[in-house]
Structure 1
Amino acid sequence: MANSYTVLADLRAGRCFNTAEVRLLRFWEAKNINKRGQLMSVEMLLVDEHSTLIQGSVPAAIQLTFRGRLSEGSVYTLSGFEVTRSNPKFRLSDGPVSIRFNEGTAFEKLATTTRIIPTEHFRFRPYEQILELANTGKQLPDVMGELRAIRSTITDRLPGAQRVMLTLRLEGDVNVCVSMFDSLALAFHSKFDGYGREPRIVLVTSINPKIVSGKLYLNGTSATRVFFDCETTVGAEAFNRQIARRWDRPGRVFN
């Protein structure tokens, strides 16, 4: 007998044997920085046809069972998983629960689906709310803005930790600084070099707001992704609005 269909908003704590149909938006490795980067889990963001966003976690001990199946943007059926209460710290979704894979979890990619599932989902917050979240460790929101400047230690070939700092102008003409370090900074430069030109609009996911010496910094995390211009629907809309208004192209600064 086939499992009953369920939607993410109906999940309750405990083992779930019903089947959900979800899109895998993004996945990344969560590592323990206190144990030399030891892998703790593979984390992911899933969304269903009702635009319900939920975080999923594959423990390190079984991650090889699922790793080869993970394809960002693909749709899957999911059943036989644990539903747990969401961690109150560094949250990536607003829901009260999250999903934890186990050895009995079925996670199968679908070639086609009749369900209309969003291809993207972002958690933007107004500047005032980002300020309120600073130094609390509660939420990792997303931001999008016009690129005003880039500062980088990588282009100067300086020894030590690598760092990239982006200045973005958000809605309301507020400028914020987004900081990315080490592997994330290197990944940004690789993407930037391959893009062929300086982007106008930059979208950065899962940032950790911090106030240092009275200034707000949005620090990248292991879950951070960077999208340029029209790589997303919301980015394309912002890009087209900018073109329509004939905004000046921001300069590029390397220090």
Structure 2
Amino acid sequence: MTVSNILFKDINQLRDDWILIVRVSRLWKCFNFRRDNELISLDMILIDEEHDVMHGTIPKNRVVKFKNQIREGHIYLIKNGKFIPCAATYKPVEGAYCLQFLMNTSIEEIKEVTVAIPEFKFQFAGVNDLQNRKNDTSLLLGILNGVGEIEKIVSTNSYKRDIILQIEQETFRVSLWEEISKKIDESLLMGDDKSVVIMITSTNVKEFQGKIYLNSTSGSRIYINLEIDEVHLLQRNNENIPVVKLQKRKLNEISVEEEMFKIEYKVDIAVTNGTVEAAFIMFDSVCQKLVGLSCSQLLKIQENNHERIPDVVNAFCGKTFVFKIKLSETYLKQGYETYTVLKKFPVKDELENDYKLQRLEEAIEDEDGKDSSTADAIQHQALTPKITDKTSTTRSSVEEQEQCSTMQSSNSGISNISKEKGEGTKHQEIEYNE
């Protein structure tokens, strides 16, 4: 087949009538783990006849059309693709452009190959590259130093295995997640006469507390002692480096991943003061004090019941607390009906009684000058339930309110209020005569 095709190095965005002849070196699905592993795209690494590489992607709404037309390792003629600038935060390979498949993109397999396109082409990251690629992806090549057991991370309901990889003269912890964690096992601990060289594609680079941590992604692929020149060179220069078994994490020890991606509380509650209802939000610091456990600890207790509201949280339904909430001018002007809880206090009877007496004072002052029946009705409502045997610690502010010894109520008869003056005296029980 004779076709006038273009090379990756000659691509620009001034034309869209390109014809490519490329090998699909790797093919994988990208998922969004924050949205219950929702499919994002079908991605690939393409190699042209000059051994240059490019990232290709099929958006999720076009995956159904192309998924059965393209296979890993095969060579294709591709037309009507769109070249877009590479995303700054996700670059499986270095390059200025990414090939995006459109609905009218055509793909045809070339079975009679007349060009030499290699099966693999890798761009390995060194130590300096990792420092410069934080929050991006890298291809790792290193000597395996340690292998851990597969463990379950309860907070994310997932599985991982940690390995220690020596890159140049430094070692890094790499977390292999889900299915890729099964690609390495403890049989590598047996060892032979040569070091074990591991290559991992599309690893995510993170920095935490000044250290670099690496995690596999949905696009990661792992190769062990692959027959390529770079692997042979590493094995010759690093003969027979043993692989050790990593110590198992203690039961109560928090993993690095749990610290990096901390799981925190956010609890929505409906509250009422007996008159109106409101919606409050409680965040991590308030919830931890209320529950007595961190969110990660609670998830471990709830290992088999992730969807059910924990009993320790449900237990607070129907109970009474005093909440300090966040109020702002913006909330009040724009009519927000959900408020953030800043603190939670237990209910104290003394505070409640003092509050009711304060309400009485305010009500009488507001109603000063109105007829006695209205004032008496307000007083009767504010003092329900009745308050008994308060000592002089309830001082002059209350005493001033009680200067009227007898008040006439149009509906309930006579209210007798006895009062003693002076410090240290007792205020007798307020009685209501129906």
State the TM bucket, normalised to the shorter chain. Answer: 0.7 to 0.9
In structure 2, relative to structure 1, the CA distance for the partners of 1:33 and 1:188 (3 Å cut) is closer
Q: Which moved more, 1:33-42 or 1:20-29?
A: 33-42
* Distance (whole Å) between structure 1 residues aligned to residue 15 and residue 149 of structure 2: 47
**Corresponding residue of 1:61:** 61
Structure 1 segment 79-158 matched on structure 2, within 5 A = 79-134=79-134, 137=135, 139-154=136-151
Instruction: Report the secondary structure of 1:28's partner residue.
Output: strand
What is the deviation of 1:239? 6.0
Q: Considering only aligned residues, what root-mean-square deviation do their CA atoms show, in Å? A: 2.4
Determine if the alignment matches structure 1 residue 178 to structure 2 residue 170: no
**Corresponding residue of 2:215:** 219
Question: Given the two structures, how large is their TM-score scaled by the length of structure 2?
Answer: 0.51
* Distance (whole Å) between structure 1 residues aligned to residue 181 and residue 33 of structure 2: 21
**Corresponding residue of 2:278:** none
**Corresponding residue of 2:184:** 192
* Distance (whole Å) between structure 1 residues aligned to residue 121 and residue 239 of structure 2: 28
Stretches of structure 1 that go unaligned for 5 or more consecutive residues are none
Instruction: Report the secondary structure of 2:78's partner residue.
Output: strand
**Corresponding residue of 1:162:** 159
**Corresponding residue of 1:18:** 18
In structure 2, relative to structure 1, the CA distance for the partners of 1:64 and 1:235 (3 Å cut) is farther
Determine if the alignment matches structure 1 residue 204 to structure 2 residue 200: yes
Match of 1:251 among 244, 253, 256: 244
**Corresponding residue of 1:241:** 236
Identity over aligned pairs, percent: 21
Q: Which moved more, 1:38-47 or 1:233-242?
A: 233-242
The superposition leaves residues 7-32 of structure 1 with CA deviations (integer Å, 9 ceiling, x where unpaired) of 12222226633321101011111223
The superposition leaves residues 41-86 of structure 1 with CA deviations (integer Å, 9 ceiling, x where unpaired) of 1111111012221111112122122111322111111111111111
Name the amino acid aligned to 1:90.
Y
* Distance (whole Å) between structure 1 residues aligned to residue 119 and residue 69 of structure 2: 18
Contact 2:150/2:181 (8 A) holds in 1: no
Instruction: Report the secondary structure of 1:62's partner residue.
Output: helix
* Distance (whole Å) between structure 1 residues aligned to residue 153 and residue 13 of structure 2: 49
Q: Considering only CA atoms, is the larger Rg found in Structure 1 or Structure 2?
A: 2
With a CA cutoff of 8 Å and minimum separation of 6, indicate the structure with the bigger relative contact order.
1
Contact 2:125/2:141 (8 A) holds in 1: no
Instruction: Report the secondary structure of 1:64's partner residue.
Output: helix
What is the deviation of 1:123? 1.6
Instruction: Report the secondary structure of 2:158's partner residue.
Output: coil
The superposition leaves residues 89-137 of structure 1 with CA deviations (integer Å, 9 ceiling, x where unpaired) of 1212222111111121111222231211122111212212212322xx3
* Distance (whole Å) between structure 1 residues aligned to residue 121 and residue 235 of structure 2: 19
What is the deviation of 1:5? 1.4
Provide the aligned length of Structure 1 versus Structure 2.
240
In structure 2, relative to structure 1, the CA distance for the partners of 1:56 and 1:225 (3 Å cut) is same
* Distance (whole Å) between structure 1 residues aligned to residue 239 and residue 95 of structure 2: 39
Point out 4+ residue stretches in structure 1 off by more than 6 angstroms: none
Instruction: Report the secondary structure of 2:39's partner residue.
Output: strand
**Corresponding residue of 2:341:** none
The superposition leaves residues 165-190 of structure 1 with CA deviations (integer Å, 9 ceiling, x where unpaired) of 1101122x211111122x2xx3331x
* Distance (whole Å) between structure 2 residues aligned to residue 93 and residue 249 of structure 1: 31
The superposition leaves residues 180-210 of structure 1 with CA deviations (integer Å, 9 ceiling, x where unpaired) of 22x2xx3331x335x9645711111111211
Question: Which one has a larger percent strand, Structure 1 or Structure 2?
Answer: 1
Name the amino acid aligned to 1:35.
R
Stretches of structure 2 that go unaligned for 5 or more consecutive residues are 249-434
